[in-house]
Amino acid sequence: MIPVSAPGAFTLDMSKGSVQQVVCNASGAGVTLRTLNLQSGMEMTFIFVQETSPASACTVGYPTNMHATTNVSSTLGIVSSQKFVVSNHGSDLYATAAGTACTTLCGNP
């Protein structure tokens, strides 16, 4: 899990596991993602948690090597998730389906 408390760039490092989670608890923070350690055929689940306590939702900027991304929900208290697979060249992530969203009551990702 990568906790976000301020705007900034955050690395989705595949060497740390196939589930990458960002929890945003900073009001209106702009989160810019980047990727690291991609290997051909790897799968990744990206989870973004909008906490219920900040005054306004965070935004996410995806890198150009993540394709067919679904915007994270701008509603507080929503958990957004999407699955990706790494290209044969090991340089890009492609969504395998549209992203989903549920309330934080859907479980602890």
98: pLDDT confidence band, cut at 50, 70 and 90? very high
The distance between the two most distant Cα atoms of the chain, rounded to a whole number of Å, is: 42
At 91 the pLDDT is: 96
- Topology, domain 2-104: Jelly Rolls (2.60.120)
Confidence (pTM)? 0.87
**Among the listed residues 37, 39, 29, the one whose alpha carbon sits nearest the alpha carbon of residue 3:** 29
For the chain, the domains span: 2-104
Q: What angle do CA 8, 78, 2 make, to 5 degrees?
A: 35
At 85 the pLDDT is: 98
Residue ranges of alpha helices (H) inside the chain are none
Dihedral of alpha carbons 88, 92, 98, 101, sign: positive
